[in-house]
Structure 1
Amino acid sequence: MADNKSKKGKSDRSKVSGSEQYEIQYFKDKMGVSSQAVVGAIRATGSNERKVLEDYLKKRHGK
């Protein structure tokens, strides 16, 4: 499902959309990992919640 760019509320910022390249790019730069690691984290956790992905990547990559 496409990201609704007209929605700018908190819930939209608390998620990382795996189908939006700019969101993956921002999150990978923030976490210091590759795009592949971000997409892999989304698949591995089954979640696109930013906090869940941050925790997973910190444990996995020691960041």
Structure 2
Amino acid sequence: MPYGEYAQCPCCGKTAYGKDDIEQEFGYRNMGDGRYIPQSYCRECRSAHCEAGKPCKVK
């Protein structure tokens, strides 16, 4: 799906649909070239400092 319509956290599996839900659960990243894309990890996993390849600290 195109950016802005769907986001899924690779750590905990949380899914968000639509811009408002993505903003609330994930937030957006400014790419510096006019694009804003959803953060890869949800806000909870980023706050817990989850890392790729390691067990999720949020689950």
TM-score, scaled to structure 2? 0.29
Between Structure 1 and Structure 2, the one with more helix by share is: 1
TM-score, scaled to structure 1? 0.28
